[in-house]
Amino acid sequence: MVRIRLRRQGAKKQPTYRVVVADQHAARDGRIIENIGNYNPRTEPETINIDVERARYWLSVGAQPSETVARLLKVAGAYEAAPAASTAAA
């Protein structure tokens, strides 16, 4: 399964992240399929640069975003989560 997730970059205690497409079983900073953006949580406001077209492509072919990446994709306008299944009381 393919995931869209964060890959840590930067010096000790100064993280920046790349938004990457990688195999679910690959290491966090291991082999990737494609780099589709970057994220810097240390700036005010957070810096989010994502190639929306490529993100939508990967989502359309079944890539699953991590929770953090799903939030970033919503901010960037590339992802609309499916509505939560409501539990019907009997």
Q: For 44-63, what is each residue's pLDDT tens digit?
A: 999 999 999 999 999 999 99
Task: Flag whether pLDDT at 76 surpasses 70.
Answer: yes
Its pTM surpasses 0.85:
no
> Where do the domains of the chain lie, and which CATH numbers do they carry?
2-76 (3.30.1320.10)
Q: What is the pLDDT of residue 29?
A: 84
- Collect all residues with Cβ–Cβ distance below 8 Å to 86 and sequence separation of at least 6: none
**Is 80 exceeded by the pLDDT of residue 4?**
yes
- Whether the bond into 45 is cis, omega within 30 of 0: yes
pLDDT-based confidence at 14, cuts 50/70/90? very high
